[in-house]
Structure 1
Amino acid sequence: MSSTNYTSLSYSLPFHFNEPSLTFSWIGFTLLAILLSYGAFVILKPDPYAHIPAVGGSGIISAYHTAKRFYNHSNELIVAGYDNYKDRIYRIPSKDRWQVIVSRPDQIEELRKAPDDVLSFKDFVDQTLFIKYLMGRTIVANEYHIGVVRSQLTKNLSVLFDDLREEIQSAFDDIIPQTDDWVSIHAYSKIAEIVARASNRIFVGVPICREPEYLKVNIDFTMSISKSRNRLIRTPAFLRPLVARYLTTVSESITIAAKYLGPIIQERQAKIDEHGQDYPEKPVDLLSWLMEDASNEQRTVTQLTNRILSLNFAAIHTSSMTFTHTLYHLAAEPHYLQPMREEIESVIAQEGWTKIAMTKMHKLDSFLKESLRYNGISFVSLNRIALKDFTFSDGTFIPKGTFISAAAQSIHHDEEKYPDSEKFDGFRFANIRTQDGYNTTNQFVNTSPDYIPFGHGKHACPGRFFAANELKAMMAYLVLNYDIKMKNEGVRPKNLSIAMSCPPDITASVMFRRRQL
């Protein structure tokens, strides 16, 4: 088209584009019309959640002000909904959506029993943890590692326990040396190092589990994912893929970790090619089981390394926070040390340092369970996203696309379920078990509609049995070998609140010394 034709076209328009003032007026009028139309659409659009009561109000302005508080005060909002609408499903506004909350046992049962193609846990995780951006799309596309953890790892805990115990002892001795004088230790970072070593003893074995650079990349990967996710939560959805591109450390972390895992993976694969899966002196560890179950395209050094990094994220992140929460309680109330020591010493005298011994340390088990009840690492549990419309038996309609969770922290602090619920009672569950004849219902790993820090039902944390043995062995070793206290005696560091997460104060220190006999 010639320049003459362009000129003719411009004259045929309502406003002459060669006149700046008219051009700006036209653009401004158009933008204003669009904004007014959108505003009218938002205001007049039927609210699909109108039948569900809202914390802080459901109006545009009231919901906006409530949503501003969500990131750092989510549990206050959940508690307000739990107290005001205890027998009803309710909703809380966050920055970009309504979060629907359930709390009654029957509602939790319906939530856990709903088919995955209706209320999906996997899709919730994908959309809230941003795994495809921060850990790699292959982790989302193929989750065969979950089956490996649920089956091979759990079934072999007795076989692996000696290795786990040995690494825990070695890690504590290296990372928190025993001295006769009180020493201030930055708790979370040191616990993360111990958890990383103990976990990787079972994941990939020695000597890699003790390599400083390998451990550092796994710990840093865990911290980086957590920080990046917290940033992405505050980022509008349409910008997240772009922002995540500059936040993810997946490729760099894989490159570093592969320096250590690559030669081992290649050596093991060569033996599989020569002798088959059950080759002589095959290591008993998670890497071996991952290689067994991986499809051909998942058996490369890059893919297996990525898988190990992702499992480390889950293990280090959750176990370090859980143990640190528990450590703060013990340091603030060291009167629990002596009765736990007596129990641990008695059990070990009978059973030795074995997995069976861990099941008989009821006070230790109770202390960990009570800490997870009292704190948790998340204010909610049984997280799902509705892939289809869903209706609860009480008639509450849940539209497709809704994010829905159970009010874990509120349930765990309900006086009707847990008398004196605002008091930390380290032996709460041990006392209940004594009354019930030491049945297993109140063990650390058991879930129920009233105890859901691990979730409940088929999507309950598959690694909780390994984690429980690791945490109990760590705590047993600490209790037998160290005295601990807070610098400000009796004062426990306050928990943090980050969106729906409840991490411990990761800046706090604990005083350690060699146990005084």
Structure 2
Amino acid sequence: MEQSLFASDIRSIFEALSLLKGIKTISLAISVSTRLLVLIFERMMSQSPFMWNGHAPRIILLLTSGVIPVLVFFSKRRRAQNLDDFPTVGCSFGPSRCFSNFYVGASRFLVDAPGVLKEGYEKYGNKPFKVATMLRWTVVLTDPQHMVEIANAAEEDLSFREAMKDIMGVDDALKINVGSPDHDLLAELLKSHIARNATKICAEVQDELLTSLETVLGNESDDWTSIPALSTVSRIMVQTWQRFFVGYPLCRNSEWSSLVAKIHKDVAISSVIRRLVPSWAFPFFARMASNLEANVDHATMLLGPAVEACTSEMDEYAVPNEKKFDFLARLVRRSTGEDSLLRNLTARLLGFTIAVSSTPSNTLTHALYHLAINPEFAQVLRDEVDPIVQRDGWNIQSVAKMSKIDSFLRESARINGVSSLGFFRQATRDLSLSDGTFLPEGCTIAVSLPPFHRDSTTYEAPDEFRPFRFSDNPEHSITTITPQWLFFGYGKHACPGRFLLTYQLKVMFAYMISAYDIRIGDEWTSRPPNFIFGEGIVPNLSAHVSYRRRRDAH
């Protein structure tokens, strides 16, 4: 409820501003947008104060001083493209290059992106429109034909890599060279490594996941135990992915695990700041708000012996030992030039971890909130899970039979998602789409996802959460890639690790349902609202769920 009231308050500000058609002055725009940023930041702190490491007062001081709006204004003005042919949604005080139009619109998008995108779709249908984000103007596409076209476009024309430089923020934060030839190494290694070792990898991930669940949750008493949902799920997910990336025993080194958790938090902070300041000012603000560089240096020291072991094996046998450090050995072997330096290799590995662990953490927490507020669904899921596990145990084949678990996760992902926008691309030259839509060089485009996932011609009652909507049709698995289901992307950049990621999700969700009773925290009477930050959709940051072990659990 708090989140909804906050968004409503922000929208009321913009409704009042829309009456002032003559806004042209920089001072008024700075005053309005700075106040909005302070409201946004205060809201983020109230939901998750632990993120900000005690630096919040300094950051708020910078926001209120108006420094950030001025920095962004001059940065954006230099990078502006002529996008006047696309209608503006979110704030219309003048032409695209008007500062007040850009910055006030970007402030609104930061807190109410779903509302802005819905407004654009209802007004313009399948025609492109543009929205202001803190990073830049973005051309939004909603036509399925456009989606398929850009998903399969050549990197030389519509660059995924260039668009993601600013969107993710990981590369700037960890000082990874996005433009290097090896930047696509993660996708390549995931595809090849998982394809060759799927059964072995799933068994190891499952072992780490179940061990982490028991370590973190435990609870042999009959009492209910309350936990912060998102941070607990994230801790377990990150721990599990460390088994895949660095192997045993480093994955269970408490010092390493603690560092990885800190670095995740540091990168999250840096990503937020990256959206508020131009690239040339980012290092200064990022250093003020996090200890990222020191933490990466510490992680480099801990990873050193494992990398040295991989290097020794390659020097001796020319082929990495399949029994240990599988992914790390391949990464070491494939890294060349500056990327092979230990510090750079560590940063790249950490970047990989962050890239693949955020989505499952958010996705599972979304589903957990749905289950906790609707505990009647738990028994339906147990009736599926328990007989399968009793008969077949926990393995790839048994988990594949859990169609209701799969459906529940997919429906939760459909309703919530992790982003309102996807398929980010940057035009590397002037070009036109097949229907004549002109995209000037340098412009960023993206696809609005809600029109696809809440299309009434595809889904009955599309705004209603129906957990078993897909359980009777195996073709509707969460990993399926179709023009109507874009959760893992589409075309050449579809998520290469989606099968392992989904296996992890299903095992963790099914195990929690089988082993524990789960309910929402006493302070909630409905599902905790999502936290919106730009196009990002994050499960409620502060909500707790309670659990207790089932005495008849198998």
TM-score by shorter chain over 0.5: yes
Once residues 402 and 250 of structure 1 are traced to their aligned partners in structure 2, the CA distance between those partners, rounded to angstroms, is 31
Taking the aligned partners of 1:240 and 1:303, their CA distance within structure 2 comes to 20
Among residues 79, 93, 112, which one is paired with 1:73 in the alignment? 112
Note if contact 1:333-1:490 (Cα within 8 Å) is conserved in structure 2.
no
Other structure's SS at 2:547 match: strand
Q: Deviations over 1:76-131 (max 9, x none)?
A: 10111111111211111234632111112111011112211111110011133334
Select the residue among 540, 543, 550 that pairs with 1:505.
540
**For each residue in 1:341-390, what CA deviation from the matched residue of structure 2 results, as whole angstroms up to 9, or x when unmatched?**
12122333443311122222111111111111111111111111111122
CA displacement 1:145-164 (0-9 Å, x = unmatched): 32101221344221122222
Contact conserved, 2:320 with 2:329, CA < 8 A, in 1? no
Residue 373 of structure 2 contacts residue 519 of structure 2 at CA under 8 Å; is this kept in 1? yes
What is the distance in 2 between the residues matched to 1:404 and 1:119?
9
d(CA) in 2 for partners of 1:90 and 1:299?
A: 43
Q: 2:229 aligns with which of 179, 187, 209?
A: 187
TM-score, length-normalised on structure 1?
Answer: 0.84
Q: Helix, strand or coil: the match of 1:427?
A: coil
Is 1:265 matched up with 2:307? Answer: yes
Provide Cα deviations, 1:460-494, integer angstroms capped at 9, x if missing partner: 12222221111111111111100001024652110
Question: Per-residue deviation at 1:318?
Answer: 2.0
Q: After superposition, where does 1:284-323 map in structure 2 within 5 Å? A: 285-295=326-336, 297-323=338-364
Deviations 1:6-39 (A, max 9, x none): xxxxxxxxxxxxxxxxxxxxxxxxxxxxxxxxx9
CA distance in 2, matches of 1:324, 1:391: 40
Counterpart check, 1:202 vs 2:236: no
Q: Secondary structure at the match of 1:88?
A: coil
CA distance in 1, matches of 2:390, 2:141: 46
**Alpha carbons of structure 1 residues 314 and 234: separation in structure 2 relative to 1, 3 Å:** same
Structure 1 window deviating more from structure 2 (209-218 vs 128-137): it is: 128-137
1:246 CA drift (Å): 4.7
| DSSP 3-state at the match of 2:531 | coil
Counterpart of 1:471? 505
TM-score w.r.t. length of structure 2: 0.79
The answer to whether the Cα contact below 8 Å between 2:273 and 2:286 also exists between their aligned partners in 1 is no
Structure 1 residues 379-388 or 263-272, which shifts more? Answer: 263-272
Whether 1:492 aligns to 2:527 is yes
From the superposition, tell whether residues 339 and 146 of structure 1 become closer, same or farther in structure 2 (CA, over 3 Å): same
Aligned to 2:235, the other structure's residue is in SS state helix
How far does the alpha carbon of each residue in 1:213-245 deviate from its partner, in whole angstroms, 9 at most, with x for none? 211211221121111111121113442354345
CA deviations on 1:186-221 (whole Å, 9 max, x unpaired) are 111111111122111122222221222211211221
The answer for the alignment partner of 2:255 in structure 1 is 213
Provide closer, same or farther for how the CA distance between residues 516 and 334 of structure 1 changes in structure 2, counting only shifts above 3 A: farther
> Is the Cα contact below 8 Å between 2:404 and 2:471 reproduced in 1?
yes
Q: CA deviation at 1:296?
A: 6.0
Given the superposition, is the C-alpha separation of residues 498 and 310 from structure 1 closer, same or farther in structure 2, using an over 3 Å criterion?
same
CA distance 1:411–1:58, shift in 2 (3 Å): farther
Q: Which runs of 5 or more residues in structure 2 are unaligned?
A: 1-72
Question: Deviation at 1:247?
Answer: 5.1
Report the counterpart of residue 157 of structure 1 in structure 2: 198
Greater CA drift, 133-142 or 116-125: 133-142
User: Would the aligned equivalents of 1:366 and 1:429 in 2 still touch at CA under 8 Å?
Assistant: yes
3-state SS of the aligned residue for 1:168? Answer: helix
Kept after mapping to 1: 8 A contact 2:273/2:285: no
Relative distance call for 1:195 and 1:212 in structure 2 (3 A) is: same
Shift of 1:249: 4.6
Which residue of the other structure, out of 403, 406, 418, is the alignment partner of 2:459?
A: 418
**Equivalent residue of 1:394, what SS?**
coil
Structure 1 letter corresponding to 2:328: L
1:212-361 residue pairs with structure 2 within 5 A? 212-244=254-286, 246=288, 249-279=291-321, 282-283=323-324, 285-295=326-336, 297-361=338-402
CA distance in 2, matches of 1:147, 1:298: 16
- Report whether the alignment pairs 1:118 with 2:157: yes
What code does the residue aligned with 2:405 have? Answer: L
Cα contact 1:204–1:286 (8 A) shared by 2: yes
For the residues of structure 1 that align with 2:115 and 2:333, how far apart are their CA atoms? 46
The DSSP-based 3-state class of the residue aligned with 1:382 is strand
Question: Are residues 80 and 467 of structure 1, via their aligned partners in 2, closer, same or farther at CA, if it must alter by over 3 Å?
Answer: same
SS in 2 for 1:494: coil
Aligned pair partner of 2:86 in 33, 52, 64: 52
Q: Which moved more, 1:422-431 or 1:58-67?
A: 58-67
Q: CA RMSD in A?
A: 2.4
- Higher deviation after alignment, 182-191 or 66-75: 66-75
For 2:277 and 2:415, locate their aligned partners in 1 and report how far apart those are by CA, in whole Å.
31
Q: Which has more radius of gyration? A: 1
Any conservation in 2 of the 1:375–1:409 contact (CA below 8 Å)?
A: no
CA–CA distance in structure 2, aligned partners of residues 96 and 263 of structure 1: 39
Could you tell me which runs of 5 or more consecutive residues in structure 1 were left unpaired when the two chains were aligned.
1-38
Question: How far apart are the structure 2 equivalents of 1:321 and 1:262?
Answer: 31
Q: Aligned partners of 2:296 and 2:539: how far apart in 1?
A: 28
